[in-house]
Amino acid sequence: RGGVFSHSFGNDTVLLALYDDNADGRADREEIAAEGLSLDNNLFFHGLVIDREGTVYIIEDASGAADLKSLGGNLGTPRIDAFPDPALNGFLRDGSNYAQADFPTAQALSGLAFGIDATLDPVNRLACTNSASLRGAGTRDGLATITGANLMRGLSGGSANDAGARGLRVTIEGRSAIVLSFSNSQINLYVPDAVSAGIRSIVVSVNNNVTAADDVRIADANPGLFTVNQTGAGEAVALLASGNRLTTSPFPQTTNGQPSVISLFGTGWRNSSSVTVRIGNQLATLQYAGAAGEFPGLDQINVTLPNNISGTVPVVVTTAGGEASRNDAVLTVK
């Protein structure tokens, strides 16, 4: 991508990010990367520089005594502002003052440049979804799956220790995430509870080199049930909780003369104030909904099977906010 300023006489100067989508050397598309740059009519912008972390540095030149504080100016002291781009996608976050000229009557700066980076591989794009359903957003304090191409430069592993040994680090809005397993096309992780819901940057790095980055949506709630075939569809991962038998599907309608209690496992509903579960399109009686033991991000639901349920039937979890799990996850009742 490239960048250019679109100047105006007023205070609505913007920085445009230009994209060459078809690699023909000409800009095909533009997006406003930062707006509202002008403090008043007397600032000029130049010296655009971008570092490896994606931060954009801009010189703001002043015009001396005409650059009044009452108009939002700085009385002739030029400065350099820094606008971070944590997802490396050209959309900048609010900037902060990076440097200010020492000499208060100076009106201009020039020669903004950084050292030369070593040649590094391109940064790939990525997507992030619920680890159980493989649909919708990952959730805070939940399990999420990152997908993309060449995420790990050919490396793989099945634990947080493996991730550390291979130099893998994943951050979500600057916070380190616990990596549970990883391959070249997929990374499974726990989203820290401290990451708030919204559009958040995810950066994947291997041995301190960024391999993939993007902005993704993190949700408060998005329920997903784990399934036996690990696709989000088909037989749900569940256990018969009645009588502490802990057996798998198919489940009996009753146990010891009472409706059977089933434990379901997934992620993405612990932050909801309440949940409902429908089995075979009938409302099931909820016994428990929340965290499943000590495994980070894993959720559990205990429900009593409704009467007159038999065969292979869909099971759907719905949160207080109306977010529902997939309708093609099923239970088998004999």
116 in a structural domain? no
In SS3 terms, 133-166 reads as CCCCCEECCCEEEEEECCCCCCCCECCHHHHHHC
Q: Measure the CA–CA gap between 231 and 220, rounded to whole angstroms.
A: 22
Indicate if 267 and 190 belong to the same structural domain.
no
Domain boundary among 203, 219, 235: 219
pLDDT given at position 275? 98
pLDDT given at position 68? 63
109 in a structural domain? no
113 in a structural domain? no
Indicate if 254 and 319 belong to the same structural domain.
yes
Phi (first) and psi of residue 261, to 5 degrees:
-105, 130
Q: Measure the CA–CA gap between 271 and 140, rounded to whole angstroms.
A: 8
Identify the residue whose tokens are 């409302």: 283
Indicate if 255 and 233 belong to the same structural domain.
yes
Phi (first) and psi of residue 70, to 5 degrees:
-65, -20
- The rounded radius of gyration (Å) of the Cα atoms in the chain is 26
Indicate if 19 and 67 belong to the same structural domain.
yes
Indicate if 228 and 319 belong to the same structural domain.
yes
110 in a structural domain? no
The tokens for 15 are 């920085």
**How would you classify residue 177: left for phi > 0, otherwise alpha for psi between -120 and 50, otherwise beta?**
beta
* Sign of CA pseudo-dihedral 32, 148, 300, 228: positive
Indicate if 195 and 285 belong to the same structural domain.
no
Instruction: DSSP letter for 229, please.
Output: T
pLDDT given at position 41? 45
Q: Measure the CA–CA gap between 49 and 237, rounded to whole angstroms.
A: 51
Domain boundary among 219, 236, 259: 219
Q: Measure the CA–CA gap between 59 and 95, rounded to whole angstroms.
A: 12
212 in a structural domain? yes
CATH number (domain holding residue 252): 2.60.40
Mean per-residue pLDDT pooled into runs of 10, the chain (334 residues): 63 74 81 66 66 78 62 66 80 76 64 68 91 98 98 95 97 96 98 97 94 96 98 97 86 94 98 97 97 96 95 98 98 96
Domain boundary among 200, 219, 238: 219
Containing structural domain, residue 146: 126-219
pLDDT given at position 120? 64
Q: How many domains does the chain fold into?
A: 3
pLDDT given at position 190? 99
Indicate if 95 and 145 belong to the same structural domain.
no
User: What is the DSSP code string of 185-198?
Assistant: SEEEEEPPTTSPSE
Indicate if 132 and 155 belong to the same structural domain.
yes
User: What is the DSSP code string of 232-269?
Assistant: SSEEB-EEE-GGG--B-SSB-SEETTEE-EEEEEEES-
